[in-house]
Amino acid sequence: MKIVTSYMLQVTGYILMVLRSYGIMVLLLSIFAIANAQVVEKNILGSDIVKKIEIKIAPKITPEITERAVAPFIDNMSERDYSKYGIKNKSQLEKLNVGKPIPYYIINDGQLTFTDTWSVPLLSDGEPLFFEIGAFSDGLYFFVDIGNANKNIIEHIYNYEYKDSIIGSIGVTTQGKGMDYLIIRKENRDIFVQVYDEATSEYLINEYSLGEIISLEKERAKKEAQESAQKRAKYLEYVADKGELKITPDFEERLFNRFRNASEKFYTTLGIKNKEQLTNLELGKPIPYYWLNNDNLQFAGSWEVPVMSDGVPFYLAQIKLQDDGQYKYVGGGAGWAEALNKYEYKDLIIGWLGAGRDMSFLIIRRNGQDVYVKTYDWDTREALKTEYTLDEIINLIKK
């Protein structure tokens, strides 16, 4: 669950830098750094020379900071989400307070890099519930994201014999939410303790040096990449002949209800101008989404589907075919709906090609030929103008 509040709209340029650099890219940066790290011997704990970590001083928790930290949950959390965060009843939300923040690091080029964010424990009457990730700037606190909410992990950390010696945490996986390893200053040495060992189901037992962690995570990243490639190949084979979207009336109704039941404060995000716009909803022509696989188009198993009001699209919903044959709404956006509606060749659109970071193309069939139109050209600052052949795109990618 991603909780959006007015606080997030007030985030300063400093926090936007944090989000760009460390919110979205933490996992990619970590995997890249681990795969390419050249470990310097003097930075490996256990060698004769030990480079200590600079301890980040935890910000003083003021009543104002506590209020800003707990507000997203008091204001927006629904009862159906209580169990995700160890909350038994609403009264616990009324007693939320903040524990000592833990500085959040990633591994970058064989070194620990502070992300300018902290794992902030939220407690109720002293009982730890979950962590949120936040940032501090000029005495203010900014909510960034939900942190680790695994009840077992949180309880083990709070019962850990060296909990008072925690000087930081390291995030290397998405699911770890910044809590894959704890950094402990013990007997004047910095020790890296694995929070949870999946192989043994043990908590806070394995102690490592930074060099050992880099080696372990390099192997893990390699294994995950192989498994991901195998899974993707299997999925692509499964969806190869399923390019026609067959939405049932029940699925369509559930999708429409997402818009009808949305809070008015989210109308702009959903492309909704007013409530009356939600009375005559219908779906437009699905646009199948493709990838390039060995220089050939490969159906990716999803569609961009215009959601329309009185025939005018205001939102593009992404619908994905699951492994079990069921369709699932997996997100979308309002940005391209209006642009596509104004596009002179909108009736000729037969697909959408994702060809890498910041590069995608509409596929139109014009005069019997497939033309690939760049959705946005960063060189010319124009949308839906620059046209390519498939061979030109392949050569562009290979440059």
**For 320-363, how does the pLDDT look when each residue is reduced to its tens digit (9 = 90+)?**
999 889 999 999 999 889 899 999 999 999 999 998 767 899 99
Position 17 confidence tier, pLDDT thresholds 50, 70, 90: very low
**For 283-330, how does the pLDDT look when each residue is reduced to its tens digit (9 = 90+)?**
999 999 999 988 889 999 999 999 999 999 999 999 999 988 999 999
- Predicted pLDDT of residue 304: 95
| Average pLDDT over every residue of 245-253 | 92
Comparing 356 with 267, which gets the higher pLDDT? 267
- Distance, CA of 368 to CA of 68 (rounded, Å): 58
Q: Which domains are present in the chain?
A: 6-229 (no CATH), 237-398 (3.10.500)
**For 183-217, how does the pLDDT look when each residue is reduced to its tens digit (9 = 90+)?**
999 888 899 999 999 999 999 999 999 899 989 88
Helix (H) or strand (E) holding 280, with range, is none
pTM, 2 dp: 0.58
- Predicted pLDDT of residue 299: 93
**Residue 387 dihedral angles phi and psi, to the nearest 5°:** -110, 145
Instruction: For the chain, give the mean pLDDT.
Output: 82
| 2 contacts 73 by C-beta, under 8 angstroms | no
- Predicted pLDDT of residue 51: 55
- Predicted pLDDT of residue 357: 67
Tokens representing 255 are 């999708």
- Distance, CA of 210 to CA of 216 (rounded, Å): 10
**For 24-56, how does the pLDDT look when each residue is reduced to its tens digit (9 = 90+)?**
333 333 333 333 333 332 233 333 334 577 788
| Average pLDDT over every residue of 227-236 | 89
- Predicted pLDDT of residue 144: 87
| Average pLDDT over every residue of 93-106 | 89
275 burial level (CB within 10 Å; 0-12, 13-18, 19+):
exposed
| Average pLDDT over every residue of 67-75 | 80
Tokens representing 268 are 């702009």
Helix (H) or strand (E) holding 320, with range, is strand 312-321
**Per mean pLDDT, which of 49-63, 124-138, 243-257 is the most reliable?**
243-257
* Residue carrying the six token digits 């995950």: 224
Q: Is the pLDDT of residue 277 over 80?
A: yes
Sign of CA pseudo-dihedral 210, 193, 150, 165: negative
| 335 contacts 329 by C-beta, under 8 angstroms | no
